[in-house]
Structures are given as C-alpha cells and as structure tokens.
Structure 1
C-alpha cells in the first residue's frame, strides 16, 4: 500500500496536465517542461499503479478507466491545496480571510444584501467576495459557498434547502383591480404572459404547469422572457403583463400594495433555493461558520415573511380579499 510520504506529486501533476490537454506535448508546455520529462513522469506513475492511464487512439489521447477514476481525485486535491495556500498567502497580505459567496441575482437583490450586511456586522473580520450570475445550478466560478436556484438533486455536494418556492400570478394593482370580477382565464388571455428563463426548461415551463393545475386553456407560448424574476416582476408592476412570482420572496411588496394577486391559486413548482458547498469544505471553519449562520437565519424566519429579512418587519401573506391562498403541488 502507498504511504503519503511516497506519493509521487510531480508525476501526479504531469498526469493531470496531460489529461486536461489530452496531449503530452500540450501538457508539457502547460508545465514548462519537456515532453520527454512529462512522459517519464506518467510512465513512472503507471508503473507504480500497475495500470495504464492513457490510450492512444486515431482520434487522439484518451483516458483509460483507471485514468478516469484518478483524474477527478487529483484535480480536487490540487484545487484544495492551491486554494488553501492562496488563502494563507492572502491572509498574510491582508490580515483577514475572504469568503467567496455566490447568490442568484433576484435572491441577492431581495434577501442577500441584508443577509450579507448582517453577517458582516456580526463578523467584521471576515471579508466577503460576492458574485452573481444568471441561471440555475452551480456557477462555474471558483467559490466557497453558493446559494443556488434549482430542484433537489443527488450529488457529491452538500445541499441545504433554504426554502422551496411557491408561485402565483402577480401583476400591477391596477390590473388586478380592473379584472377583480372577471374569470382568471380572461385576465390571462387579455394580457401579456411574462416568463423567467430556467436552464434546462422551455421558457413557458411555469405557465404550462400553472395552466394545467388551474385547468385553464391557455396559450403559454406567447409573451416576454426575462433572465431574472426581479426583472419580470418590475415589468409586471408597471402594468405590462403578468408573471408567476415566488410569493414568499415578494410578500412585503404584495402586502404594501405594490403588486396585485389576481388569482387564489398558487403552485409548488419543485424549485427552491439551496445552500451548496463541497463536502470536504465542511472542515473549513469559515465555510462551516457561514453555513451554520445562514441556516439558522432561515430556520428562525416564518416562510410567509422571508422578504421581511431586508426590511426588518414581518410581512403577512394574503390574497386580494384577505383569505388564505390555495396551494397546489406540481
């Protein structure tokens, strides 16, 4: 059995470089060494393991089964070493640790700003680097912890649910008042449908789900599509259309009369907001601290008053006539 004091680090670096470039020449160039040197390293690693790591085919260099098994482990290990050493170097230069956090744009705008401010007030010695990108799922950018918009899924990452969204049609208060005594299908037929882009789903996904469960015959292919819910809601608030909105995210705007709810039905669409991090990062005290802090923050808030996080006052969720809203699981 191999002992860590005998781990061939240079050979592992050579293997990773060749695997990433699918070429001995390109791999050698990326490490600024000769091709013969990198070939010797890979050969010595194959001899040590007793398995071939690459196959030469007419289409090019490909990993064997053993190579495919080894590569992600090597990449993650070197990534962690590189990350930690850079953090230590950064701490030495700046005297403070930087926590890299990703949040979706609407989440960041509605809740994240307040949450980050509260975290900084409580932990002023921890600097924060915030990124935000469109789309659902994990960002490609190198981060420590991410809030993502997605469906529950099985993966190697740690996923903590913050809340599962519920959506209902939302429009301007004037539009809601105008159609107060009209059937919902007439309101939807007369006005623009607003969509929010979800990776891996057609643009009309949410409206198709809603019309199915509301039993409304609706042409969901028409309308305007936005990258974020915040943009779609802003468009709807001006009286330009109707959007299916996360009612918990916008509870304070609804209660303040800035948005109207013309329907008494909302659906659970299976999407929600999750805190995601790599399992090995649980050993990082800073990442573990932030994880525990934000989970505790959400667990202490009633789901009907999520949006009050940014205002500091509780928000009550009611429909247009003050009665509880019917919830339908999709």
Structure 2
C-alpha cells in the first residue's frame, strides 16, 4: 500500500468504516444493511479506499469475498481502533440526551459481580429499565455521573438513602475440605482470605469464640469473588459475607464450616445522587433491591 502526501490530507474515514464493516461480515450486502446504506454505496467506498491505497483490498471467490494480503494487513491494523471510535461516539450520544437507563455505582466489586449484576435481568423484565453498573473505590464527587451509589464503606451526605441489608459473616469451605477437617479444631483450619476485606477473619473469629492469632491464612486474593472461587476449588476455609456465598451454599459447592452467622457491624447502603436526572427510577431501583435482599434472593 502506498499513501502519498496529497492523499494523506483527505484521508477517507467514511470509506475506512465501510471497509472494516465489510471485513467483519465478509459481505458487501450485510455491511450495507448494518450501515443503513445501499450495496452500491459500500462498493464505491471500498473502491475509493483501494484508489487511495493503490492496491486491491478484496477478491471475489464465487459468492464470497476474501481479503487480499494488503487488505488483511489494513484490516488487522484498524479494526480495533474503528470499534473503539464507534463505541465511544455511541456513549457520547447517549450521554447527551435523556434516556431511561440508570447508572449504579458501587465501591464493592464482589457485591456487584455476585449480587447486583446477576439480578439485573429480573429488574429489566419487571420495570423495563436498563442498568449500567460502575465500580469505583474512590469517594464520589458532586459532579460524578451516576444515579445510585451502593456502598459499605463510603457515604453520600445529605441525600436519600436506604439500608439494604446488614452484613453477617460465615465460614465456608468445599464439602470435601470440611469433611477432611471435621475432627480438627477451627484454629487449625487452612484459611484463604481477601485483601479487600482484611477485617473479616478477625471479626468472625472473635464472634465465633476463636483466637484470631491462631488461624492459619495460607493464601490471599485481591477480591472476594476470587477468594470465593478458590474456596469452591478446595483451596481453604473462607470467611465471607453470607450474602455473597448464598448461591454456592444452595448449589452445594460450599458448605458452612460453622453454623453461626456473625454480624460484622456493617450495612450495605444505597444512596440517591442529589443531581440524578432519574430520581424516581432510582428510588424504584433502591426499593426493589432492598426487597430482594431482605427476601434472601441475591
């Protein structure tokens, strides 16, 4: 491919978009349908790009098309960039107009992954509102773009709030690991833990009449959802919020190593952003999530 200085001043971006769409679908007809133009327009755009590059980009083989070596080189170089541009423009367009989507922010990635995201299909079916979930550990600022903040350790003073559920800690492990250690004292159990919640093991131990200093933590993971997966795999006993391991307990992938549920003293709270453009829908979402959690349905 040879690009001249004269051509570089008028690079055919529209033609490049048509080219990458043809490349994704391996069809001029399907590309025309995706872009909402005629097949003739797609052909003209590709011809423009071929003239610009001074080489063929596609060859026809019967009813199908294939890249030339030069066409494949160009496609591999620009396909990801074009996808990024298209997605970014879509997001900017959505932000610039009123819509019925809610933006829910949380400082708890494990809670979002385990509880919030799996339940959003039910919320959409019941209320017809799509929800975007954002995770951030940073304290929220007045100008941040979200409708609801769900947190355990942050706050949004001066706004409406709902206490969703009070946290209770349990000790769980795989059935095989519990069976292998059932005759041993709890202080000798091999433990795994999450760096994001270093307080949980000691809090549970004190409430369960164990000596925290005697517990053996053999492995740690950045987030709770990683530690839960490790516990399911038999890597060790895990102290976790009961809410976050309910599905694994129901499925039998984890079992309680100790029947006691120890209050941590923390609560999960939902705050309504004072500047939300969807305040009524945000209130509806908070009430729905609170009811779901109180019913024991993560």
The equivalent residue for 2:117 is: 113
Is 1:234 matched up with 2:229?
yes
Is 1:214 matched up with 2:208?
yes
Residue 176 (structure 1) shift: 0.7
SS in 2 for 1:306: coil
Structure 1: gaps of 5 or more residues: 1-85, 308-330
Q: Of 220, 243, 246, which residue of structure 1 is paired with 2:241? A: 246
Say if 1:167 and 1:246, in contact at 8 Å, map to a contact too. yes
SS in 1 for 2:204: helix
Say if 1:197 and 1:225, in contact at 8 Å, map to a contact too. no
The equivalent residue for 2:191 is: 192
Say if 1:168 and 1:261, in contact at 8 Å, map to a contact too. yes
What is the correspondence of 1:134-283 to structure 2 with a 5 Å cutoff?
135=137, 138=140, 142-150=145-153, 155-187=157-189, 191-198=190-197, 203=198, 205-219=199-213, 222-279=217-274, 281=276
The equivalent residue for 2:73 is: none
Say if 1:156 and 1:278, in contact at 8 Å, map to a contact too. no
Cα shift readout 1:218-273 (whole Å, capped 9, x = no counterpart): 33684433332211111111111222111133223113210021113231112232
Distance 1:277 1:250 in 2: 27
SS in 2 for 1:156: coil
Say if 2:200 and 2:239, in contact at 8 Å, map to a contact too. yes
Is 1:292 matched up with 2:296?
no
Q: Of 129, 148, 172, which residue of structure 1 is paired with 2:132? A: 129
Distance 1:99 1:273 in 2: 19
**TM-score scaled to structure 2, two decimals?**
0.58
Residue 121 (structure 1) shift: 2.6
Aligned residues: 203
How has the CA–CA distance of structure 1 residues 87 and 255 changed in structure 2, closer, same or farther, with 3 Å as cutoff? closer
SS in 2 for 1:181: coil
Q: CA RMSD in A?
A: 3.1
How has the CA–CA distance of structure 1 residues 136 and 159 changed in structure 2, closer, same or farther, with 3 Å as cutoff? farther
Residue 162 (structure 1) shift: 0.9
Distance 1:266 1:123 in 2: 33
Say if 1:137 and 1:148, in contact at 8 Å, map to a contact too. no
Structure 2: gaps of 5 or more residues: 1-92
Distance 1:225 1:138 in 2: 28
Distance 1:154 1:89 in 2: 25
